[in-house]
């Protein structure tokens, strides 16, 4: 399976949220009940060191939704730069599946501060 690609941009000091819906080939939501999601961000794809995690959550499971959130203090602590991320799912047997999505993560400073 070839993972999908999704570019993410996170601004330092600004709340970051994203919602993804997993759909099958027919456009029907995939039931994620019993799964957990992991979304690690690294400076290099081959690096064993995780720079930060996107804190994915599967709120209900049945609707295929995965949410991500980092609050303002979390994003402010990040170092600006280019990173890479991937999304894997872990089933009830602790088997890691995927990655389902990969892509760059751009962490940027904002121009205006309040």
Strand, helix or coil at 76? helix
pLDDT one-digit tens code per residue, 25-47: 999 999 999 999 999 999 987 88
Per the confidence metrics, is the pTM higher than 0.85? yes
What's the number of domains the chain is made of?
Answer: 1
Structural domain of residue 102, as residue ranges?
4-108
114 located within any domain = no
CATH code of the domain containing 92: 2.60.40.3350
100 located within any domain = yes
Which carries the bigger pLDDT value, residue 1 or residue 100? 100
Q: Where are the beta strands (DSSP E) in 1-114?
A: 4-5, 8-11, 16-21, 36-42, 52-53, 65-70, 81-90, 96-108
pLDDT number for residue 114: 57
pLDDT one-digit tens code per residue, 55-94: 999 999 999 999 999 999 999 999 999 999 999 999 999 9
52 located within any domain = yes
97 located within any domain = yes
34 located within any domain = yes
pLDDT number for residue 45: 75
């Amino acid at each position: 399976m070839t993972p999908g690609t999704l570019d993410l941009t996170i601004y330092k000091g600004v709340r970051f949220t994203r919602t993804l819906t997993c759909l099958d080939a027919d456009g029907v939501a995939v039931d994620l009940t019993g799964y957990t999601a992991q979304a690690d961000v690294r400076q290099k794809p081959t690096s064993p060191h995780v720079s930060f995690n996107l804190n994915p959550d599967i709120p209900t499971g049945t609707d295929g939704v995965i949410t991500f959130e980092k609050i303002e203090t979390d994003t402010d602590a990040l170092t600006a730069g280019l990173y890479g991320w991937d999304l894997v799912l872990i089933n009830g047997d602790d088997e890691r599946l995927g990655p389902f999505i990969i892509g760059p993560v751009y962490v940027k400073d904002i121009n205006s501060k309040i």
